[in-house]
Amino acid sequence: MSKDILSAALAILRINVLLLALASAYYIRLFAVQNFGRVIHEFDPWFHYRATEYLAANGAASFFRWYDRQVWYPLGRPVGTTIYPGMQFIAVWIWQSLNFLGQEMTLHDVCVFIPAWFGVASTAFLGLLTFECTRSIDAAACAAFIVAIIPANLVRSVAGGFDNECVAITFMNATFYFWCRALRGTSPSAVWGAIAGLAYFGMVASWGGYVFVINIVGLHAGFLSLWRFSAKLHRAYSALFLVGTGLAVQIPVVGWTPLRSLEQAGPLLVFVLLQVLEGLSIWRRRSKLPEEDFRRLRFQVLLGAGAALALLASVLLKLGYVAPLSSRVRGLFVKHRTGNPLVDSVAEHQATSPRAYWQYLHHMCSMSPLGIVAVTYYFSSKMNRLVMLLGPMAGALGGVGVAWAVRWALWQFGVEVPGEEGEGEGDGGNGEGAQDRPPDKGWRELLEEVKRPLREAYQESILQRKATAGLVLLMVLVCGVEFIGYCWTVAERLSHPSIIKKQRSGDKETLVDDYREAYWWLRDHSQQDARVMAWWDYGYQINGLANRTTLADGNTWNHEHIALLGWCLTGPEQDSYEVIRHLADFVLIWGGDDLAKSPHMARIANSVFGDLCAEPMCRAFHLDRETKLPSETMKRSLLWKLHSHGREDVQVNPRFFEEAYTSQHSLVRIFKVLNVSEESRRWVEDPRNWKCDAPGSWHCQGRYPPGIHEILAKQKAFQQLEDFNAERDAKAEEYQKAYMSASGR
């Protein structure tokens, strides 16, 4: 076969693999639509969809001034200044563009399909990133195909999963690609750095995980500056940092955090370091200082700058200008427990089990080099929602490994793969002004002496190499087929929405739609201003599907308010009722789910009120795993009575609550609160009782009605337990030590 024919055949094959990767990235994410219809899944996506609806109906100006009084009753929430709005704006722009072009599509359907569309874009950018780093088209094609279907990349990007990460991972891959592109030897680094800054801005606008991205880029730039500093590196990073940070601070939820946050101090310090190094480099070129004198001067300047920065940092920390690490970030550096029972209760924040890596990465666990452990493995292992960070990296490294193995194996049979490598161009260290050290010939000669006999032995063992090559090709084929089948099987499993379930009875499969039917019942059988008390997990769905007011949701911004909610659900029935009647018209529970979560509810309540349990972990509040019987503390709780009402001789007090609705499969129960305090309702709704941040401002927080001041007087603000800058009193210290001790820390 001539070289030209082989080149043409391989070019067609590569194009087909890339097209197949993009098509697979789309279709593998559509199982949910095929099996359940165009449904928005889970909990958070319902908030994002509701926010998108508001943006589409009211415009950007109103969106950023939106104070939502249907959530976190009676406090409310300033949504526009506490949301990462990137995904909402993208959804509205796509919806408007499609309708402008005559492709009519509802906003709901656009939100359903956005994860699949951005899954394709994410795949494309990962392929480009792999090519940029390896200059290998084969590695890029393999990486794109792997990352298109790898389960770690599907976790938050199946159709219907309208969540921040489905868009953010695309921007993360784009940022990394444009950053590496900016360091290429012949590229205008400032231009590509600015484009990387725009991609980073998209990441910031979409997800709080942007902190990981800017730290990785800063870490890379910092390491390069240590031994391969160049003007190109300075221009690329400066453009990215200035454009990205300058735009990021315009997002209300971010504000000045990039310049005041301890977890983002590293990239800022790298920016300052590069300015100092560039200044020194310019001065050296003008002064023509000898190399030895320049090195001594550079060391002295860097030492002085480091001392000045350390002094400035200590002053800012003392003044409280620099924000401490958040509980979620601290969870990345401590073993499982953060000291905050609310953060510890969230399933996404639990440590990742070793089995999860095989589940989400499969053969890429062995194909990805050990270098992946340095950053992404460490952080993903601390919080299981971050395992998605491993997906793109494992796909890229796995693609490089597969492409190299196949190329080597084909070469052993005399098949030289043409047209595969790009021209070798320099990376960040090869720009003008580079300060590379001269190569050490002694080390190079020593390495050559070690490699020479190994190379000779390798070249002589022709039969062994061909046999090995055959095995390699067979392994790639077998493992590849297994990997593809596994990914498609897991994709269908990941596409099952929690809001709808499938149930098999004999040979017949039926849909269990209890949750949506319960929300629709609320929508159709309650007043427009009805308030629904439920654990915070379900708040977004109640708002989105039932369009009713909730007391808490997944934003979890107010620990004390959630603790009050936990106290109402896990406290004694009568005590709870005396508070609930001032806050809610209905109480909604999710059957067994709420019982499983109830120990967390009790712990959170106890962290603020302190009168529910004798010790921080609330071990006395539990359901026996073997007998399925409640402990005495749980048996007295309102939650147990609502869950078991009408069963096992358990009845709620008919003077307090009335059963209003139980779903077909008893997964959801709704109880009407009797003798609701209308006086408290009117007091909460009266604007004169709101607390505004300025006269005439839109930002006016509601307040609790006087009827529950007795229970509020018992609460103790939890912030002092997690704020490094706050002084703790003796009781706070005692609680914290007891909690960490009881949780095994």
The verdict on residue 91 lying in a domain is no
Nearest partner of 555 among 43, 197, 28, 34, judged by Cα: 43
Secondary structure of 187-248 as H, E, C letters: CCHHHHHHHHHHHHHHHHHHCCCHHHHHHHHHHHHHHHHHHCCCHHHHHHHHHHHHHHHHHH
What pLDDT digit, counting tens, does each position of 382-404 carry? Answer: 455 566 777 888 888 889 888 98
Report which residue type is found at 73. Y
Flag whether 429 is in a domain.
no
Any bridge partners for residue 508, and if so which? 505
The number of distinct structural domains making up the chain is: 2
Average of pLDDT values for 507-523?
92
Among the ranges given (45-59, 98-112, 570-584, 622-636), the one the predictor scored with the smallest mean pLDDT: 622-636
**The pLDDT of residue 439:** 47
Q: Which residues contact 603 (CB under 8 A, 6 or more apart)?
A: 341, 345, 613, 616, 617, 618
Residue 668 in 3-state DSSP? strand
DSSP state of 630: B
Is the N-terminal amide bond of 74 cis, ω within 30° of 0?
A: yes
As a whole number of angstroms, the distance between CA 661 and CA 658 comes to: 9
How far is the C-alpha of 131 from the C-alpha of 149, rounded, in Å? 19
Question: Is pLDDT above 50 for 377?
Answer: no
Split at pLDDT 50, 70, 90, the class of 424 is very low
Among the residue ranges 292-296, 425-429, 507-511, 623-627, the one predicted with the least confidence is 425-429
Over the stretch 183-197, which tens digit does the pLDDT of each residue have?
A: 987 779 999 999 999
Q: Angle 335-336-337 (CA atoms, 0-180°, nearest 5)? A: 100
Residue 568 has pLDDT above 60, yes or no: yes
**Quick one: pLDDT band at residue 483, thresholds 50, 70, 90?**
very high
Which has the higher per-residue pLDDT, 366 or 484?
A: 484
Residue 83, pLDDT > 60, answer yes
In a domain, 615, yes or no: yes
Half-sphere exposure (CA, 13 Å, Cβ side) for 320?
5
**725 and 745: one domain?**
yes
For residues 693 and 548, state if they share a domain: yes
- Domain co-membership, 641 together with 730: no
C-alpha span between 261 and 473 (Å, rounded): 50
- Residue 743 and residue 664 share a domain: no
Same domain flag for 604 and 735:
no
511: its two tokens: 């849909």
User: Are 727 and 671 members of one domain?
Assistant: no
- In this predicted model, which residue has the larger pLDDT, 150 or 8? 150
Using CB atoms within 10 A of its CB, is residue 267 exposed (0-12), middle (13-18) or buried (19+)? buried
Comparing 126 with 351, the larger pLDDT belongs to 126
pLDDT at 353 over 60: no
> Which pLDDT belongs to residue 625?
82
Full domain range(s) for residue 565: 514-714
> What is the band of 349 on the pLDDT scale with cuts at 50, 70, 90?
very low
- Report whether pLDDT(443) > 90: no
Domain identity same for 533 and 593: yes
Q: Would residue 736 count as lying in a domain?
A: yes
Taking alpha carbons only, the member of 192, 216, 176, 183 closest to residue 395 is 176
Q: What mean pLDDT do residues 312-338 have?
A: 62
The answer to whether position 441 is within a domain reads no
**How far, in Å, CA of 627 to CA of 362, rounded?**
38
Per-residue confidence at 290, pLDDT binned at 50, 70, 90? Answer: confident
Q: What is the mean pLDDT of residues 662-674?
A: 96
Here the tokens at position 471 are 């095995």
Are 600 and 615 within one domain? yes
| Same domain, yes or no: 626 and 669 | yes
Separation CA 414–CA 706 (nearest Å): 86
Asked if residue 604 and residue 523 are part of one domain, the reply reads yes
Among 90-104, 153-167, 502-516, the range scoring the smallest mean pLDDT is 502-516
pLDDT at 734 > cutoff 80: no
Q: Which two tokens stand for residue 588?
A: 């909604």
519 in a structural domain = yes
* Residue owning tokens 């990962």: 126
Q: How far apart are CA 479 and CA 485, in angstroms?
A: 10
- Cα–Cα dist 238/232, whole Å: 10
pLDDT in tens, 18-31: 999 999 999 999 99
Considering only residues 89 and 278, tell me which one the structure prediction assigns the higher pLDDT: 89
C-alpha pair distances (Å), 602 with each of 304, 394, 597, 598, 619:
52, 40, 9, 6, 9
pLDDT of 34 strictly over 80: yes
Using CA atoms, how far residue 436 sits from 71, 226, 300, 373, 430, in Å, is 58, 10, 20, 28, 9
- Per-residue pLDDT, averaged over 242-266, amounts to 92
Single pTM value for the model: 0.85
Most confident of 199-213, 401-415, 587-601: 199-213
Mean pLDDT of the chain: 84
Say what the pLDDT of residue 720 is.
Answer: 45
Lowest mean pLDDT among 84-98, 153-167, 723-737: 723-737
Return the closest-CA partner of residue 131 out of 118, 119, 144. Answer: 144
Q: What pLDDT shows up at residue 347?
A: 53
Cα 129–chain centre separation:
21
Q: Please, are residues 579 and 715 in contact by the beta-carbon 8 Å criterion? A: no
Query: Is pLDDT of 489 > 50?
Result: yes
Higher pLDDT, 655 or 299: 655
Is 649 or 289 the better-scoring residue by pLDDT? 649
Residue 285 maps to a domain = no
| pLDDT of residue 621 exceeding 50 | yes
pLDDT at 556: 86
Q: Which residue has the higher pLDDT, 641 or 730?
A: 641
Q: Residue 437: which pLDDT band, with cuts at 50, 70 and 90?
A: very low
**pLDDT the model gives residue 168:** 95
H or E stretch at 503: strand 501-505
pLDDT of the residue at 420 = 58
Q: Which residue has the higher pLDDT, 127 or 316?
A: 127
Instruction: Specify the pLDDT at position 721.
Output: 44
Taking CA atoms, 701 is separated from 60, 559, 679, 735, in Å, by 21, 16, 19, 30
**Domain match, 669 and 736 both:** no
CATH number (domain holding residue 642)? 3.40.50.12610
Q: Does 282 reside within a domain? A: no
Tell me, yes or no, whether 684 and 740 share the same domain: no
The whole-angstrom separation of Cα 410 and Cα 388 is 33
pLDDT above 70 coverage of the chain, percent: 80
Point out the least confidently predicted range of 60-64, 239-243, 264-268: 264-268
Tell me the pLDDT tens digit for each residue of 130-164: 999 999 999 999 999 999 999 988 988 999 999 99
